[in-house]
Amino acid sequence: MGEQPARRREKAAEGPSRPAASGSARTGGRTAVTPGETEASGATRPAKRPAKPESHLAMVRRARRINRELAEIYPYAHPELDFRNPFELLVATVLSAQTTDLRVNQTTPALFAAYPTPEDMAAADPEKLEELIRPTGFFRAKARSLAGLSASLRDDFGGEVPGRLADLVKLPGVGRKTANVVLGNAFGVPGITVDTHFGRLVRRWKWTEQEDPVKVEADVAAIFPKSEWTMLSHRVIFHGRRVCHARKPACGVCPIAPLCPAYGEGETDPEKAKKLLKYELGGYPGQRLSPPPDYPGRPAPPLGAG
């Protein structure tokens, strides 16, 4: 007798099956055989029919399951920029373009000691400001953005960082990604942060085919309730930095491999894959010099240490 419709829908929603972490595929308890190979019985295994395309509903259910799995894997997920107030987060996020959060965190202590407020930074000597942020790269363009946004905060917003997307994106050097980081982590306003890690993973997971960050944001926002947007961003970015790397994903130790359509693009051998893990998962320091209390890894060293 065939499966009941409800059961078929349930199986479809579970997402594409993938080999176990060891890399050996199993089918009904047996080792899978490629089409044309001979099984132990001597019979030729017929070629499998191509799998049916995943429905939109099945993709949504798989995406939400991935989010739940990531929440269990990274209960300590957080923004990996050090900051104490909205202005520091805004500045740090602008500086994070084309560099690592670690390098930004190693640079901002001296920067904020010299210019703790928008008024201070707006009045900064350009050459001194450039020198302080030189380690983050593109320091001349970033210095102009910091001076400009600080002047705008001073002149147009009473020295305070605004809590609205429409206001934030008017500031020099501030786009939707930066605005969503600030809104979600300094003001508690839900937002999706589409950085390079986020975009790479959601395309690998077939949540979207878009390359444009604004279109990626719209596609992913349609899958998840608004209340999940900020933490979803942290979880996906955490996974991209630690496991699902751009050039060599650690597929063999990825806990969401059974839900991933791109399984096998990276290293599937568990021992080899384990060596690819980064930050706290690989036993290395994290990116923040001052991580949250629940972070299980080690703080990053300050600039010039070690």
- 195 catalytically annotated: yes
Q: Which residue from 263, 270, 269 is spatially nearest to 244, judged by alpha carbons?
A: 263
DSSP bridge pairs for 285? 298
Please enumerate in sequence order all residues whose Cβ is within 8 A of that of 15, keeping only pairs 6 or more positions apart, or say none.
54, 58, 61, 62, 65, 258, 259, 261
User: What distance in Å separates the CA atoms of residue 283 and residue 297, rounded to the nearest whole number?
Assistant: 7
CA distance 160 to 162: 6
Q: At what angle do helices 101-114 and 86-95 cross, to 10 degrees?
A: 130
The token pair that represents 221 in the structure block:
């926002």
The active-site residue, picked from 82, 101, 142, 177, is 177
Q: Determine which one of 167, 195, 219, 269 is catalytic.
A: 195
DSSP per-residue string spanning 142-199 = HHHHHHHHHHHHHHHSTTS--S-HHHHTTSTT--HHHHHHHHHHHS--------HHHH
Q: Is 177 a catalytic residue?
A: yes
Q: Residue 245 in 3-state DSSP?
A: coil
**What span, in angstroms and rounded, lies between the C-alpha atoms of 230 and 126?**
34
Any idea what the Cα angle at residue 164 is, between residues 160 and 169, rounded to 5°?
90
User: What is the sign of the dihedral through the CA atoms of 61, 62, 65 and 70?
Assistant: negative
**Residues belonging to the active site:** 177, 195
